[in-house]
Amino acid sequence: MEIFKILLAIHIVGGSISLLLGLYILLTKKGNKIHKKVGKIYFISMLTASIIAMPMSYLHPHYFLFIISIFTSYMLLTGTRYLAKKSIEDINKIDWSITASMLIFSLAFIIFGINLLIKSNTFGVVFLVFGSISMLFVRQDWINYTGKSKMKNYFLTTHIQRMMGSYIASCTAFLVVNNTILPSVIAWLLPTIILSPLISFWTKKYFIKK
């Protein structure tokens, strides 16, 4: 029990910091020195909270906490690594391993979601949504890593998409934990519905065609 409390405290601190810094990044100018410094702190705090959530979901079995932790870790790791790339020659085994791992998890999410829906458990929709979104990101990795993207600056645009995705996951976790009004399925999907249009907006803004 004491171990869980310690993990919970670290998780709350990391999650709270990343939630606030993510909002700051969302509302301020991108690409300057302040953005980069705040972004590094955001990455460390969010990744810490996500990794800590994995043993927490085992000590106190919680499938949904596990989903968010896996999804967020993937978004953070790939988002940060994309920013350091200049060409497909920079892609290595670590990048492919991260993507392959997410492929396995996304398939598991989809299968588990279908199984829940068959049992008339509507929460299966959540698994299907996150599994499907993860699958789309895995496909995007394959396109980018093999040089098939139609964007010239896809490393930058993908970085933006992934970091936004990690923030959506953080907002989702916060809303679900503190929600006392909304139906659980709505609480899980609301941040995705509200913030996803911003991903499209910034992708179009920085889009440079080959």
Contact (Cβ atoms closer than 8 angstroms) between residue 12 and residue 53: no
Place of tokens 């171990």: 3
Contact (Cβ atoms closer than 8 angstroms) between residue 192 and residue 129: yes
Q: What distance lies between CA 152 and its chain's CA centroid?
A: 24
Strand partners, 151: 209
In this prediction the pTM is: 0.86
What CA–CA distance (Å, rounded) separates 35 from 54? 28
Residue of 107, 105, 3 whose CA lies nearest to 55: 3
**Ramachandran angles phi, psi of 188, nearest 5°:** -70, -30
Q: What is the pLDDT of residue 207?
A: 65
Over residues 111-134, the pLDDT tens digits come to: 989 998 999 888 788 789 889 989
| Amino acid residing at 40 | K
Over residues 52-109, the pLDDT tens digits come to: 999 998 888 877 788 888 989 999 999 999 988 878 888 999 999 999 999 999 999 9
Domain residues for the domain of 13 are 2-206
Could you give the percent of the chain with pLDDT greater than 90? 40
How many C-beta neighbours within 10 Å does residue 138 have? 22
Residue of 186, 160, 199, 172 whose CA lies nearest to 19: 172
Question: How many domains in the chain?
Answer: 1
- Averaged pLDDT, 156-178: 86
Q: What is the pLDDT of residue 110?
A: 94
